[in-house]
C-alpha cells in the first residue's frame, strides 16, 4: 500500500505543496498539514481491517502519511486504556479512563510521532535523523534511528534531566547540549535544518508528517471504547501539537465512517503554571499565545513559544473545553496521586495532566456525568530527580526481627 496523502497544505494561507520534506509554508512560514482523500480512505477502511492490523500505530496506516510496509517500527502505540475508578473517586469524577502512554517503547507518546516521521524520512531518502528535544523526543528519535540504521543527532537544553541524556546517548546518538532554553535549541535547529538539507529533523522539516502520529491516540481511545467517542479528553500542552492532533483524530473517525455521527469531543488542556502561554491566552480571550520564558519542573512541557499554540486554543474553544495550569507543588502531588491510586508512575507532564484534571473537576469544567479520558504521556522513571530527596526509604534498620517490630511500633505510636 502506498501513502494515502495528497501532499501538504499551509494551515495559514492555504497554499498547496507536494508530499516532500518541507519545513514550513514557502510563502508565509505557516505550519503545513497533510492532505488526505477521505472519501478514498472511507471506501477502504472499516473496523475489521483495523482489528486485523498490528498492535501498534500502524493498524491505522490508512490515516497516516507513510507506508506501513517497511515502517521504522519499535511497536509504538496501541497502549492500554485503563479504567481509573480509584482516581475518579478522589477527584469526584464518574467514568474516568487513563491512556497509558508510559507503555511505549521509549516510555512516551513521542514514539508515535517518531515512528511516522522516520518512516517518511526513509521514504524521502534521508540518511540522518535529528531533532530538537526536551528529552522524550530525544530518546525516541535515537532509538528509532538505531533501529533504522540512521545516523542520529539530538539537540537538547543543557539543564535537561540527566536520565534523559543517558537514555538517548545509549542508542549511539550524538547528543548536543545547548546552553539555553528549549526555544533557543529549537531556533538553532531551525537554522541547522536550513543549512543541512540531507538531515531529517523530525520536528522541523518532517514536522507535518511527524505530528500526524499523534492522531493515533484518538484512534486508539475510540477503538478501545468499542468504537465510541469519549465526552471529554484532557491533554498536556507543550507545542500544542498533541492536543490539536487528538482533536483532528476524533474528527477524522467521523469523516471516514469509523464512528457514528459527528459529535464533538470536548478537549481540555493542561499546562505547568511556570510555562502556561496557552492557558493565559485562553483566560485573556487572546487568539495567539504571547511567548513566555519557561520556569517549571515539567521540562518536557517547557516550550515558551508553542508553534501550535494558536491551533490548540482554537480546538479547546471550539470544543467547549478549557485549559488549567498547575504549580510545581501541584505537579508533584499529581504524580503521587496517580501513582498511589492507579499504580502508574508518570513523568512530570503526567503530574501536570492529573493536577489540571483535578482543577478542572473542581471548577466543574470536567463533569461527573462525562466519560473522561486523561492522557498520561510519559513514564516517571525519566524524571525521578523532580522528587529530589523527598522520597526515600521509610527507615533503615538492622537485619533483625526485633528491630523490625520496634519500627512497626514507632509507626503505630509516632512520637
Partner 1 sequence: MSIVVRIPSQLRPLTGGKREVVVEASTVGEALDDLEAHHPGLKARIVDETGQLRRFVNVFLADRDVRFLDGLDTPVQDGQTLSVVPAISGG
Contact positions vs partner 1 (CB under 8 A): 12, 23-31, 131-134, 136-137, 182-184, 186-187, 190-191, 194, 197, 202-204, 207, 238-239, 241, 288, 291, 300-301, 303, 305-308, 310
- Judged by beta carbon, residue 12 or residue 231, the one nearer partner 1 is 12
Q: How far apart are CA 141 and CA 319, in angstroms?
A: 32
- Of 240, 241, 256, 249, the closest CA to residue 217 belongs to 249
201's CB contacts (< 8 A; 6+ apart) are 130, 131, 132, 189, 192, 193
- Judged by beta carbon, residue 55 or residue 291, the one nearer partner 1 is 291
Distance in Å, CB of 305 to partner 1, minimum: 6
Distance in Å, CB of 135 to partner 1, minimum: 9
Distance in Å, CB of 215 to partner 1, minimum: 17
Chain position carrying cell 510563502: 27
Distance in Å, CB of 204 to partner 1, minimum: 5
Q: Where are the alpha helices (DSSP H) in 196-319?
A: 207-212, 215-224, 241-255, 277-284, 309-318
Q: Is 77 exposed, middle or buried (0-12, 13-18, 19+ CB in 10 A)?
A: buried
Distance in Å, CB of 288 to partner 1, minimum: 6
- Judged by beta carbon, residue 310 or residue 342, the one nearer partner 1 is 310
Q: How far apart are CA 378 and CA 70, in angstroms?
A: 26
Distance in Å, CB of 348 to partner 1, minimum: 13
- Judged by beta carbon, residue 50 or residue 192, the one nearer partner 1 is 192
Distance in Å, CB of 241 to partner 1, minimum: 8
Strands 81-83 and 95-100: antiparallel
Distance in Å, CB of 303 to partner 1, minimum: 5
- Of 174, 175, 141, 177, the closest CA to residue 159 belongs to 177
- Of 313, 289, 314, the closest CA to residue 303 belongs to 289
- Judged by beta carbon, residue 156 or residue 273, the one nearer partner 1 is 156
Distance in Å, CB of 165 to partner 1, minimum: 16
Half-sphere exposure of 150 (CA within 13 A, CB side): 30
> Which three cell numbers, joined as nine digits, stand for 396?
533503615
- Judged by beta carbon, residue 131 or residue 355, the one nearer partner 1 is 131
> Which three cell numbers, joined as nine digits, stand for 393?
526509604
Chain position carrying cell 501513502: 3
The answer to whether the beta carbons of residues 218 and 286 sit under 8 Å apart is: no
- Judged by beta carbon, residue 187 or residue 264, the one nearer partner 1 is 187
- Judged by beta carbon, residue 33 or residue 62, the one nearer partner 1 is 33
Give the Cα-Cα-Cα angle 96, 369, 326 (nearest 5 degrees). 55
> Which three cell numbers, joined as nine digits, stand for 106?
521509549
- Judged by beta carbon, residue 181 or residue 338, the one nearer partner 1 is 181
- Judged by beta carbon, residue 142 or residue 372, the one nearer partner 1 is 142
Distance in Å, CB of 192 to partner 1, minimum: 11
> Which three cell numbers, joined as nine digits, stand for 246?
487528538
What's the Rg (C-alpha) of the chain?
Answer: 21
Strand residue runs (E) in 54-126 = 81-83, 95-100
Query: How many other β-carbons are positioned within 10 Å of the β-carbon of residue 142?
Result: 27
The answer to whether the beta carbons of residues 229 and 159 sit under 8 Å apart is: no
Amino acid at each position: 500500500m502506498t501513502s494515502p496523502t495528497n501532499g501538504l497544505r499551509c494551515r495559514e494561507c492555504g497554499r498547496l505543496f507536494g508530499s516532500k520534506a518541507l519545513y514550513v509554508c514557502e510563502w508565509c512560514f505557516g505550519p503545513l498539514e497533510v492532505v488526505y482523500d477521505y472519501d478514498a480512505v472511507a471506501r477502504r477502511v472499516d473496523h475489521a481491517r483495523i482489528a486485523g492490523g498490528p498492535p501498534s500505530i500502524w493498524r491505522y496506516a490508512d490515516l497516516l502519511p507513510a507506508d506501513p510496509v517497511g515502517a521504522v517500527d519499535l511497536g509504538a502505540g496501541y497502549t492500554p486504556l485503563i479504567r481509573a475508578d480509584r482516581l475518579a473517586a478522589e477527584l469526584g469524577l464518574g467514568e474516568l479512563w487513563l491512556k497509558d502512554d508510559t507503555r511505549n517503547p521509549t516510555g512516551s507518546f513521542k514514539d508515535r510521532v517518531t515512528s511516522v516521521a522516520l518512516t517518511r524520512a526513509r521514504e524521502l531518502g534521508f540518511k540522518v535523523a535529528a531533532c530538537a528535544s526536551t528529552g522524550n523526543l530525544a530518546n525516541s528519535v535515537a532509538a528509532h534511528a538505531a533501529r533504522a540504521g540512521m545516523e542520529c543527532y539530538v539537540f537538547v537544553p543543557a539543564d535537561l534531566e540527566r536520565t534523559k541524556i543517558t537514555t538517548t546517548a545509549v542508542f549511539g546518538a550524538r547528543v548536543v547540549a545547548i546552553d539555553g532554553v528549549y526555544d533557543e535549541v529549537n531556533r538553532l535547529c531551525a537554522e541547522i535544518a536550513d543549512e543541512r538539507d540531507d538531515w531529517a529533523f523530525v520536528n522541523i522539516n518532517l514536522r507535518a508528517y511527524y505530528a500526524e502520529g499523534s492522531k493515533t491516540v484518538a484512534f486508539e481511545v475510540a477503538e478501545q471504547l468499542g468504537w465510541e467517542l469519549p465526552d471529554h479528553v484532557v491533554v498536556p500542552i507543550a507545542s500544542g501539537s498533541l492536543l490539536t492532533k487528538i482533536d483532528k483524530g476524533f474528527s477524522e473517525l467521523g469523516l471516514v465512517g469509523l464512528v457514528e455521527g459527528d459529535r464533538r469531543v470536548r478537549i481540555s488542556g493542561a499546562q505547568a503554571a511556570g510555562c502556561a502561554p496557552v492557558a493565559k491566552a485562553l483566560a485573556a480571550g487572546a487568539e495567539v499565545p504571547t511567548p513566555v520564558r519557561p520556569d517549571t519542573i515539567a521540562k518536557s512541557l517547557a516550550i515558551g513559544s508553542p508553534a501550535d499554540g494558536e491551533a490548540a486554543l482554537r480546538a479547546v474553544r471550539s470544543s467547549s473545553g478549557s485549559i488549567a495550569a498547575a504549580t510545581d507543588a501541584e505537579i508533584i502531588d499529581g504524580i503521587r496521586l496517580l501513582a498511589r491510586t492507579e499504580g502508574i508512575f508518570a513523568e512530570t507532564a503526567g503530574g501536570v495532566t492529573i493536577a489540571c484534571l483535578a482543577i478542572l473537576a473542581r471548577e466543574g469544567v470536567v463533569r461527573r456525568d462525562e466519560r473522561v479520558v486523561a492522557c498520561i504521556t510519559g513514564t516517571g522513571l525519566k524524571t525521578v530527580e523532580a522528587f529530589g530527596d523527598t522520597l526515600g526509604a521509610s527507615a533503615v534498620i538492622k537485619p533483625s526481627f526485633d528491630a523490625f517490630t520496634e519500627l512497626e511500633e514507632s509507626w503505630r505510636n509516632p512520637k
